[in-house]
């Protein structure tokens, strides 16, 4: 009986192809673990600057008011709207109000606009900061824990 296997050339090509695929998977996995660093104030990671953001917010009679009482300029606000067991996140600057200052709220800056949150039980205002990266200016939304919760009446 004659037993034949796969030719050595085909086996070598398959082995090289498998090594390339495994190497590519490992490379993409590692490159996905590192994220681009966004800095603010001369090299401080923008994630750490979120601790220093201070603002006051109020929603009364359909008027949303925000005042920056800290030293960190707030470029924008994410608004997390909670209603009946679900929530949606919107950008205050683009989705809800055309009156947000183009350069954000600097120290002592104030924002006020009539915004309707129909059916909402509460909203959470989450600051968005502007920072520098290798690719230029980038925005960074702070984590939810830095947000202000407001009950909508």
**What CATH number should be reported for the domain holding residue 70?**
2.60.40
SS (H, E, C) the chain: CCCCCCCHHHHHHHHHHHHHHHHHHHHHHHHHHCCCCCEECCCEEHHHHHHHCCEEEEEECCEEEEEECCCCCECEEEEEEEECCEEEEEEHHHHHCCCCCCCCECCCCEEEEECCCCCCCEEEEEEEEEEEECCEEEEEECCHHHCEEEECC
pLDDT tens, residue by residue, 32-69: 766 666 666 667 777 788 888 899 988 888 888 899 99
**Torsion sign, CA atoms 36, 41, 44, 45:** negative
For residue 28, being part of any structural domain is answered with: no
Number of domain units in the chain: 1
For residue 14, being part of any structural domain is answered with: no
For residue 29, being part of any structural domain is answered with: no
pLDDT tens, residue by residue, 5-19: 778 888 899 999 999
pLDDT at 9: 87
Domain limits for position 100 = 39-151
pLDDT at 105: 86
pLDDT at 19: 97
> Is the pTM higher than 0.75?
no
For residue 9, being part of any structural domain is answered with: no
Percent residues over pLDDT 90 in the chain: 13
pLDDT tens, residue by residue, 99-147: 788 888 888 888 888 888 878 888 899 998 888 777 778 888 888 888 8
Q: Which of 3-12, 80-89, 91-100 has the lowest mean pLDDT?
A: 91-100
For residue 6, being part of any structural domain is answered with: no
Measured CA to CA in angstroms, residue 119 lies from 14, 58, 83, 122, 125 at distances of 60, 18, 6, 9, 17
């Amino acid at each position: 009986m004659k037993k034949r296997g796969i030719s050595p050339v085909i086996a070598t090509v398959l082995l090289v192809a498998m090594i390339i695929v495994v190497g590519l998977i490992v490379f993409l996995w590692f490159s996905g673990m590192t994220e681009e660093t966004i800095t603010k104030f001369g090299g401080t990671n923008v994630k750490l600057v979120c601790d220093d953001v201070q603002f006051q917010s109020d929603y009364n009679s359909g008027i949303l008011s925000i005042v920056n009482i800290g030293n960190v300029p707030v470029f924008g606000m994410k608004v997390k709207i909670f209603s009946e067991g679900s929530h949606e996140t919107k950008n205050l600057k683009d989705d809800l109000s055309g009156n947000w200052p183009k350069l954000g709220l600097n120290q002592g800056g104030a924002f006020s606009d009539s915004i309707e949150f129909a059916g909402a039980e509460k909203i959470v205002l989450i600051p968005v900061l502007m920072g520098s990266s290798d690719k230029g200016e980038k925005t960074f939304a702070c984590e939810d824990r830095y947000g202000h919760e407001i009950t909508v009446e």
